[in-house]
């Protein structure tokens, strides 16, 4: 189970952040402060096939999909994220740096496998994935489709 510095801080367990050696800070500590150029990581594991990790700095946003091509956006030049720069040769250093940052914190494929195993155990306890899908009312934007080779 992954631990969040923000959740630990919110339940008055902020001492555990240092004890666990978490590589992040509580969002409660940075709320309301001027933005700093630091990397922010978020992850999403659906019970479907797609998981993704997003790394964001003030200027760039990198999205790593498990099993699909990544995406890279320049948020200053393209705030609506209409132009994916991941394949542009001049942006190869940013792509490599973002992937290195991600892998320095976690193994995306392994973490997704662990999340899927946890989800399967919970789904079974609550009637299985089909029951959950029938009850689901979440609308979302699907990730890009991988190109056929």
- Residues 76-135 pLDDT 10s: 999 999 999 999 999 999 999 999 999 998 999 999 999 888 888 888 887 787 777 776
Q: What is the mean pLDDT of residues 31-36?
A: 62
Task: Compute how many other C-beta atoms are within 10 angstroms of the C-beta atom of residue 64.
Answer: 21
Percentage of residues in the chain having pLDDT higher than 90: 39
Residue 31 in this model has a pLDDT that exceeds 80: no
Quick one: pLDDT at residue 136?
A: 65
Helix ranges, the chain (H): 5-10, 15-19, 27-30, 92-105, 108-125, 129-135
The pair of structure tokens assigned to 32 is: 């309301």
Where does the pLDDT of residue 1 fall: very low under 50, low under 70, confident under 90, or very high at 90 and above?
Answer: very low
In the chain, ranges of CATH 3.30.1120.10 domains: 35-135
Where does the pLDDT of residue 53 fall: very low under 50, low under 70, confident under 90, or very high at 90 and above?
Answer: very high
Fold of 35-135: Arylsulfatase, C-terminal domain (3.30.1120)
Where does the pLDDT of residue 144 fall: very low under 50, low under 70, confident under 90, or very high at 90 and above?
Answer: low
Which residues have CB under 8 Å from 115's CB, separation 6+? 45, 51
Q: What is the mean pLDDT of residues 55-78?
A: 94
Which is higher by pLDDT, 129 or 58? 58
Q: What is the mean pLDDT of residues 136-140?
A: 60
């Amino acid at each position: 189970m992954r631990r969040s510095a923000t959740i630990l801080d919110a339940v008055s367990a902020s001492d555990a952040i240092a004890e666990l050696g978490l590589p992040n800070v509580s969002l409660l500590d940075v709320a309301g402060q001027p933005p700093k150029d630091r990397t922010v990581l978020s992850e999403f594991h659906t019970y479907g096939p797609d998981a993704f990790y997003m790394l964001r700095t003030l200027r760039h946003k990198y999205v790593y999909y498990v099993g699909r091509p990544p995406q890279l956006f320049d948020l200053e030049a393209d705030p609506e994220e209409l132009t994916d720069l991941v394949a542009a040769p001049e942006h190869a250093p940013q792509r490599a740096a973002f992937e290195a940052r991600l892998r320095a914190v976690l193994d995306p494929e392994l973490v997704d496998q662990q999340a899927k195993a946890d989800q399967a155990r919970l789904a079974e306890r609550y009637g299985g994935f089909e029951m959950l899908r029938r009850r689901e009312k979440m609308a979302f934007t699907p990730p890009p489709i991988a190109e056929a080779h």
